[in-house]
Structure 1
Amino acid sequence: MTDASDQWEQWHERRTETVSAPYGPLALTGTHWLADYPDGRIPDIPGSWAADGDAVVPTVATADGPTVDGRPLDGRVRLEADTGPVESARVALGGRRLVVLVREGVWGVRDHWSVPGRFAPYGESRTGRVPNADGRSRGLALAGERVFELGGERRTLKAARQPDGRLWAVFAESTSGDGGFRFRFLYAEAPDAEGLTTVDFNRAQLPPCAFADHFVCPFPPPGNTLGLAIPAGERTLL
């Protein structure tokens, strides 16, 4: 390749890494302006949130799960706008980061998320037959399950192991097919020695058959349809 091509490839790789980082732009699932929620109830975020002069004041019970500065939040706290990187936001909710921001005097909360998980390998590979996009059924070899917590519940995704050690899951969720494609692929780096991995739905991607009918893609195996919405990652064709 020419020097110009080399430089472009390097730029493209850096750009891809940046936008798909655990708390990069693809991790943003919503920006909620408090003025739009006079009752203080932001969708899918526990507690009541209100602007109060130069701060945002959430009122949250410990049972709801958020932490502030690493400590459980129970009651009220005043939060100024976060100024650092997303991962250092003061409010966390499991793998999510709730970033307080202000624009021209209007306060809001941004919701970023990334979910830690663990890979539980099967004793030996299990092959099941699943429908494919071309209407035929084919074998899909599964190496184990990615176990994680989301929406207050323990969840699992059956996953195959790629030749390079990465994990690959085919999944659907409650909004699949509702304005988006019917299922998606989710890859993850190889788990570490303790089986730890990241279930980063910000990196969920449309399968090749979303772009052309000539591709053969497996549908999600039984158990890989999640009963909640995953509003992250690639969802629709542009």
Structure 2
Amino acid sequence: MKTRTLVCLMTASLLAAACSSQDGRAVDSAAVAPTAAAFATEHAEWVRERAADLGRPDGWTSLIGLHWIEAGRRSVGGGEGNAIHLSIAPDRLGQVEQRADGLYFQPAEGVPITVDGKPLLHEVRLDTEGAGGGTRLSYDQGKGQITAIKRGERLALRVRHADAPARRDFAGLDFFPANEDWRVQAKFVPHPAGKTLPIVNVLGEIAENPNPGYVVFEKEGRQWQLEALGDPAKGLNLMFQDQSTGQLTYGVGRYLHTEPVAADGTVVLDFNRAYNPPCAYTDFATCPLPPPENRLAQLDTGGHRTRLAVLAGEKKYAVAKH
């Protein structure tokens, strides 16, 4: 998802305000709050862009399969006799094989497939998704796409198709009404350099992630904190659960991306832009889960457990019914 792009949407007037004040002195962008009208307009645009991103022909709703690779050469295609059966594909697409130096795909004869936009005429090594983008195979006139992912020591084929039922039946997004009270200013507290945080994904795999620090904010008369991932200079990534989780909001939890941390350590947490992970829309994603530290719960002096209910941002996704 292009979440980082989405959260950076700003009107031209606000960008100007963030860069300078009336007397020409620099103004901290984290301290600039939009007017009520601009806030509502920007939020509506952000929601529209997020829905459009999910519904792209290759967006999260287009996923039709996640196929873990086993030993040996494995046939791939839509026919029932294939070792890797794709729900939307020609009978035979080709064969895939994992070797010591990577994953390879051999196209079936006469089947039009492209690799990174060019006709595929011979065997190709599939680089996994990541910072470099990975190798992308396309079929069915570009509507079907296959990439490789690596989770732990395992490799899998991730398959998309523009005609995926989840995309065809996408029901749209449901958000709490935008509320400026949920746009709160927080303080970023750095950890010692090199600290990591173990993050579990839906497959049960654990990965150590750079944990540059945590954010502290006040709400409902209490102070709360969330451990952060990402780069403070580019923006923090927060994953959290709250009292609404599993009731009004998605049961796994929600994500939130911030603007860069300001020079004075302040950062705005706009919970109106809390969003569901991809797993809310597809069974074929491998979403990381919020760490236990980020459940927005605390014990008071009497030993009573209190949780914050973040009644802002994206609600549960309701699948369209026919």
Question: TM-score range, shorter-chain basis?
Answer: 0.5 to 0.7
1:112-142 Cα offsets, whole Å, 9 max, x none, are: 3111111111121322323212232222321
CA distance 1:111–1:207, shift in 2 (3 Å):
closer
8 Å CA contact 1:119–1:191 kept in 2: the answer is yes
* Partner residue of 2:282 out of 204, 212, 216: 212
* Partner residue of 2:291 out of 212, 218, 221: 221
State how many pairs are aligned: 143
8 Å CA contact 1:145–1:156 kept in 2: the answer is yes
- Structure 1 residue 139 and structure 2 residue 205: aligned? no
Q: CA deviation at 1:22?
A: 8.3
1:183-215 Cα offsets, whole Å, 9 max, x none, are: 001110111111111011111111122121222
* Rg comparison, structure with higher value: 2
1:112 is aligned to 180
Q: What's the TM-score once normalised by structure 1's chain length?
A: 0.53
* Partner residue of 2:250 out of 169, 175, 181: 181
Segments of structure 1 that go 5 or more residues without pairing to the other structure are 1-12, 28-109
CA distance 1:120–1:163, shift in 2 (3 Å):
closer
CA RMSD across the alignment: 3.0
Q: Could you tell me which amino acid in structure 2 is paired with residue 230 of structure 1?
A: V
CA distance 1:22–1:202, shift in 2 (3 Å):
farther
CA distance in 2, matches of 1:216, 1:111: 31
CA distance 1:195–1:163, shift in 2 (3 Å):
closer
2:222 is aligned to 153
Segments of structure 2 that go 5 or more residues without pairing to the other structure are 1-5, 12-33, 45-177, 297-306
Write the mapping of 1:22-33 to structure 2, written as runs, cut at 5 A. 24-25=39-40
- Identity, in percent, stands at 33
8 Å CA contact 1:131–1:138 kept in 2: the answer is yes
8 Å CA contact 2:233–2:261 kept in 1: the answer is no
- Structure 1 residue 237 and structure 2 residue 317: aligned? yes
CA distance 1:178–1:151, shift in 2 (3 Å):
same
8 Å CA contact 1:22–1:202 kept in 2: the answer is no
CA distance in 2, matches of 1:189, 1:178: 28
Q: Could you tell me which amino acid in structure 2 is paired with residue 123 of structure 1?
A: P
Structure 1 or 2: more strand by fraction: 1
